[in-house]
A and B are shown apart, each in its own frame.
Chain A
Amino acid sequence: MVQHSRTIETAETKPKLAVWKFTSCDGCQLSLLDCEDELLQLAEQVEIANFMEASSVQLPGPYDLSLVEGSITTPEEERRIREIRAQSRVLVTIGACATSGGIQALRNFAEVDDFIAAVYAHPEYIDTLKTSTPASAHVAVDFELHGCPINKRQLLEVISAFLHRRPPQIPAHSVCIECKLRGNVCVWVAHGTPCMGPVTHAGCGAICPAYNRGCYACYGPKENPNTDSLCHWWQQELGAEKATVIENLRNFNSAAPIFDVASRRQEGGDDQD
């Protein structure tokens, strides 16, 4: 939990909340607008100082709490994230793009230059980096809220926690725990369905197993997962193909270090100790 000398909320002024977009689908900031029953109440508690998707008002910094959506994929975004960090007392990244590079980090496993030259009639108009990286690769981040997309209940919890200067209650255990809490039958044990649940960060509420499909890890790795063991079990016990294993490590959180290492190891291209 970050410690700040000044209280975040004072009697005279409401804390300033800013929402920033980088390379993304807008879905995580939409989660804030999807809080249909809480949005107007929240707007009474904070001053929405920057939220371009919802308002044309743009107030200057500094900001008490900045929510950052999206990954860093252009030189301009590299500059802008540093500027926002400098203007923000607390910076929280929201969603798979901001916390691990998102689906667009699949470029990290390919030669982007070849792509661009082949694709564009005018590659010179396109200014993009070779990689898609999380905000934490560029600036200090106070808290990361995982998920593709994030869970709006967890978003409200994070906002509320930082406004009241307490640690957010966001468990880092696996989807398996949520499955048990939800009373789901285990799709792996009961049906032999390959499931990423054992290595995946909780937060979604174990939706996929509740809908009879295996988890595909859109919340990224949980803390301390045994990913190699999972890959082994998928192939040896469930008969999954190596390509399927790699596809599931390499989707919405492919650049999360644990998944990145594991998928490269599966490909056999990276010898890890």
Chain B
Amino acid sequence: MTRTKTVKVDYLARVEGEGALYIRYDDRGVHDVKLKIFEPPRFFEGFMRGRDYLEAPDITARICGICPVAYQMSSVHAMEHALGVTVTPELRALRRLLYCGEWIESHSLHICMLHAPDFLGYPSAVAMAKDHGKIVQDGLQIKKAGNAIVNLLGGREVHPINVRVGGFYRVPTVAELNPLREPLLRGRDMAMDLVRWAASLPFPKFERDMSHQYEFVALSHPCEYPMSEGRIVSTRGLDIPVSEYDQHFREEQVEYSSALHSALIERGAYFVGPMARYNINYAQLSPLVKETAEDIGFPPFCANPFQSIVVRCLEVLFAFDEALRIIDSYRVPQKPYVETARKSATGYGATEAPRGLLFHRYSIDDAGKITDAKIVAPTSQNQKTIEHDLRLMLPKFFHLPEAQLQAQCEQAIRNYDPCISCSTHFLRLDLRHSERSQP
């Protein structure tokens, strides 16, 4: 006898934004999996048309309060690509330092406040702090160290004001940067502990079989672990410059989600984020991070999404290491920004947001006003993979009581650190495009 059952979560907790989950299944298998995103659309790509190109980093920051730096970085890279400008190595290093700050604060928020409670069976980090005080306290201190970088370079933690097309409005002196060293050194030590702690968590055993392997997609750069530059590379042979993104990826609308689903043309679902970066770019991690991974016996290629929490911890450790390296070799840029002249052009930018690849494309006119904008957030790109994961892993968890089954599903979604507020804002508002592609 088969009785159809459902898993329904009306409002997913501990994710950024408003989403729900609906799964229909019976003894024969899983019939329906929907990650429903009901976050209301905000039409960024629509109202950006007509705005000045210099406003792009300020406006797109408001897409996400958790990872505003990522939006600022992708937008300034796209604008600089359009205008044919390259920033100086000193400015480039400062941007990388700023991004380290965001990786640290966003990852530690997810690791300690949002994801860890799943593994240890608590409803929140505040509840968890009663029994696991050190982890929550360390997590908060790590987060604070990341925020200190963003605060200094950006002016404030949320929606920084100092990022400009061409560089920054103001660059710090050596004396201003140096006080960051001490909290970063302490943070790096705490991050080492955090890696070891995360590796000791109980992980549900889930790896996809040969016929359902993930296609990981991330930036890849010959000289460094990717943040703001590189080619878009996948574990199945994709290797393209950012400017060819549109030719290989497409977005589609589904009824139950206000965020578009992104897919690789003719291949479908793919996987972006820390695990994709790590699997593709392990060789570029700093010696300290590789040694730490070896110490805990963590492999250079990870295919169990529940272990993404360990990868995030390793990336936090890397970001501390990298931030210290940049501060130690800091030379004050001669000018805070490279001048840009207004001209009609189209530019592409993709950077590695904490949650994965973040693509921007802009066209601007002679007066420097935006005529077209396209933004594809990491969570839009992971939605299909999240749904596939749930479909594949659910049969392994059928024996669990329903409440536990539901908790397991929610945990599987949090593996991706979904940022629903982000993904929803990317509803295409390109009139030309829409006119020629009515289904």
Contacts and interface: CB of A to CB of B under 8 A. Distances in A.
B421 A24 contact: yes
Interface of A: 21, 23-31, 33-34, 36-37, 39-40, 43, 48, 51-58, 73-74, 77, 102-104, 106-107, 110, 112, 115, 118-122, 125-126, 128, 148-149, 204, 207-208, 210-213, 216, 218, 243-244, 247, 251-252
Given A37-B144, A204-B156, A251-B58, A23 B42 contact: yes
B380 to A, nearest CB: 15
Instruction: Point out which of A43, A56, A204 has the most chain B C-beta atoms below 10 A from its C-beta.
Output: A56
Contacts of B169: 208, 211-213
B221 interface: no
B198 to A, nearest CB: 19
B331 interface: no
A211 B170 contact: yes
Nearest to B420: A26
B52 interface: yes
Interface in B11-32: 11-18
* Band of interface residues on B: 35 or more
B129 interface: yes
Given A52-B13, A126-B41, A149-B159, A26 B65 contact: yes
Nearest to A109: B47
Nearest to B159: A149
Nearest to B435: A118
A-B pairs with lowest CB-CB distance, top 6: A27-B65, A55-B124, A56-B13, A106-B47, A149-B158, A36-B144
A161 B218 CA distance: 47
A20 B87 CA distance: 41
Given A25-B421, A106-B43, 20 more contacts: A27-B68, A52-B11, A53-B16, A54-B124, A55-B124, A57-B123, A73-B42, A102-B62, A103-B47, A104-B43, A110-B47, A149-B156, A210-B155, A211-B170, A212-B336, A213-B162, A213-B170, A243-B52, A244-B52, A251-B59
A36 B143 contact: yes
A128 B141 contact: no
B374 to A, nearest CB: 12
Contacts of A211: 155, 161-162, 168-170
Contacts of B161: 207-208, 211, 213, 216
A120 B66 contact: no
A27 B42 CA distance: 15
A251 to B, nearest CB: 7
Nearest to B429: A119
B123 A56 contact: yes
24 contacts: A21-B18, A24-B65, A24-B421, A25-B68, A26-B64, A27-B65, A27-B66, A28-B158, A29-B65, A30-B158, A34-B157, A52-B13, A53-B15, A55-B123, A56-B14, A56-B123, A58-B11, A104-B47, A110-B46, A118-B429, A149-B65, A213-B169, A213-B170, A247-B52
A54 B162 contact: no
B147 interface: yes
A200 to B, nearest CB: 13
B179 interface: no
B118 to A, nearest CB: 9
Contacts of A27: 62, 64-66, 68, 158-159
A56 B124 contact: yes
A125 B14 contact: no
A163 B39 CA distance: 31
Contact of B126 (A43, A104, A125): A43
B14 A252 contact: no
Most buried by A among B55, B64, B159: B159
Residue in A40, A58, A77, A107 whose Cβ sees the most chain B Cβ within 10 Å: A40
B40 A77 contact: yes
Contacts of B16: 26, 53
B421 A26 contact: yes
A10 B115 CA distance: 34
B170 A212 contact: yes
A139 B140 CA distance: 35
Q: Give the one of B40, B58, B144, B161 with max A CB within 10 A.
A: B40
Contact of B159 (A39, A125, A148, A244): A148
B427 interface: yes
A39 B126 contact: yes
B340 interface: no
B59 A107 contact: no
B66 A207 contact: no
Contacts of A58: 11, 13
Nearest to A103: B62
A28 B143 CA distance: 16
